[in-house]
Amino acid sequence: MPHATSGGPGRIAGDGSVTAHAPAKINVHLAVGPLRSDGFHELTTVYLAVSLLDSVTAWPDDGLSVTVTGEGADGAVPTDSRNLVWQAAELLARHAGVRADAALHIDKSIPAAAGLAGGSADAAATLVALDALWGTRCTRGQLARLAAQLGSDVPFSLVGGVALGTGRGEELSPSLSRRRTDWVLGIAGAGLSTPTVYRELDRLRAVGRLPGGSTAGPPDDVLTYLRDGPDATLSGLLANDLQAPALELRPELRAGLAAMTGAGALGAVVSGSGPTVVGLAEDADAATATAGALSDGGAFRAVRTVHGPVPGARLAG
Ligand code: ATP
């Protein structure tokens, strides 16, 4: 497998490859408004990019191909045109008027269908890597517009840090983010499909088992506390309108949330459409201790400690 080892001009390695990394996201706050006429929901979300990174390596080839190692390499992640990296490559090629010629290798640490925007991270990394490989010299603004065509979370995967997302989540207002926060990710055995979770939310609202609109409240305090703390206050503000439908579809996630706080997290919430449970830790040592306690318990398939904010998609080296 070609490996980017040098950081020279354009970050093209000796074997002609380019590697880019992009982070997982968690939704510290996710308010889901009503269904729009275009089939999407109006969102207000606070995104946080965390230190769990996928990498995409691109090198010259005839035509497109995709290979995967790591999380989801057992078949959960497609290697054809259904893969977002494939779609990102075709979109950039069309935009720039070049041939979509590249072999793309994804090394995944971000679990698939986990509510962590793994596919979006890969798409953002692909835009950055291929822009360098193909010399298409897109501005960050152009890449952001392409990202928004690929998926609601892809613009944030490109930008990283902390941002308020509105619209489908693709309209971003980056926020000041001096403060580091530490988190524990509890990763479930099987993924959840994002459209299924939204449909379940609509159903629960339609039958009156949930209020018709968001119950997450405004995001302002979350943004303030991500900027200057304290964490203990932030734990009371974690909110996600998709948690109720995710719990309806996966009742065992209740035990996961309880296990997370039982193991010492200050607060716990489902990330995005789930099923990953994120726990807020007081600091890095507390996150390690919580993760250690959870790995003995069996509530999750895997447990990871991460911190945020981290930058968005960028070239390696
Ligand atoms: P989000 O939080 O952005 O809604 P997610 O993190 O729950 O998404 P992804 O990991 O992005 O979910 O994967 C969702 C589905 O997208 C997968 O089940 C898979 O079929 C498909 N997919 C396409 N490209 C990728 C990719 N590069 N990595 C993972 N899944 C991908």
**Global ipTM:** 0.94
236 among annotated binding-site residues = no
Cα–ligand 1 centroid distance for 53 (angstroms):
14
Q: Which of 54, 83, 273 to mutate to test the pocket of ligand 1 (most atoms within 8 A of CB)?
A: 83
Residues with catalytic function: 25, 153
On whether the CB atoms of residues 49 and 224 are closer than 8 A, the answer is no
pLDDT band per the 50, 70, 90 thresholds, residue 72: very high
Domain ranges for the chain: 9-175, 181-308
pTM attached to this predicted model:
0.93
d(C-alpha 186, C-alpha 101), whole Å = 38
Q: Give the mean pLDDT of the chain.
A: 93
Please report, rounded to a whole number, the percentage of residues in the chain having pLDDT higher than 90.
Answer: 81
Nearest CA to ligand 1 atom 14: 113
pLDDT at 302: 95
The CATH topology of domain 181-308 is: Alpha-Beta Plaits (3.30.70)
pLDDT at 67 over 80: yes
Pick the CATH number of 9-175 from 3.40.1160.10, 2.60.120.380, 3.30.230.10, 3.20.20.140: 3.30.230.10
Instruction: Show the tokens assigned to 4.
Output: 């980017």
CA dihedral (75, 81, 85, 87) positive or negative? negative
Query: In the structure, which protein residues have their CB atom closer than 6 angstroms to any atom of ligand 1?
Result: 72, 76-78, 82-85, 106, 112-120, 122, 153, 191, 194, 272-273
Strand (E) or helix (H) holding 120: helix 118-134
